[in-house]
Amino acid sequence: MSEQALKIGVLISGSGTNLQAIIDAIDEGRLNCEVVSVLSSREGAYGIERAIEAGIDAHVMARADYDDPYVADAKIVEIMDAAGVDYLVMAGYMRKLTPVVLDAYPNRVLNLHPALLPSFKGAHAIVDAWERGVKVTGVTVHFANEDYDMGPIIAQRAVEIYESDTIDTLEERIHDVEHVLYPEVLQLLAEGRIAIDDEGKVHIK
């Protein structure tokens, strides 16, 4: 990879499958990024083991750290600034970021959402889409801002819901798409091909 690899910090809360997809894409030469720090909002998250195995600087926040979310986010900024990150990447991070982080990295915090925003916002998007009976759902990558799941959309990919699907098979296929789309978007960032206009819309060069 080039010495100009984009430096990213990854925020997780769970198993870290999207983190692993990013690590794999880097290792395979498909993604010109370097994961310089991983932070988990939960103790015992398997994603931390993935980070350690890959030789990545890893941090864990305890539940008590979030008693004051502004103090917690200030700690996140301190850790990520020390690592020299260019972008923050939320990969299954289950806490809402405050302006402390968002203002430190304006239009440089990415989020991955398992639905086609603005439909099915929130933490239960896959189940909500399934229960609503829609025939197409999908995955959205967007910049995070103070409006939950409402930041500028970077990319979306549809996932058709089949008659033969169960909620488990649908969730698996959505995650499969996430693991492809997120590294693709990060590569666009690494190539300097993503821009936001004055109206807050994202354009791919």
Question: Any idea which residues carry the catalytic annotation?
Answer: 113
Name the amino acid, one letter, at 49.
E
Burial class of residue 103 (count of CB atoms within 10 Å of its CB; 0-12, 13-18, 19+): exposed
Query: Three-state DSSP class for 203?
Result: strand
d(CA 149, CA 44) in angstroms, rounded, equals 26
Please report which residue ranges of 56-141 form alpha helices under DSSP H: 69-83, 99-104, 125-132
Instruction: Give which of 19, 9, 89, 3 is closest to 57, Cα–Cα.
Output: 9
Which backbone phi and psi does 75 adopt, to 5 degrees?
A: -65, -40
Strands (E), the chain: 6-12, 33-40, 58-60, 87-90, 109-113, 136-143, 153-160, 194-196, 202-204
Name the amino acid, one letter, at 32.
N
Q: Residue 107 gets which letter from DSSP?
A: T
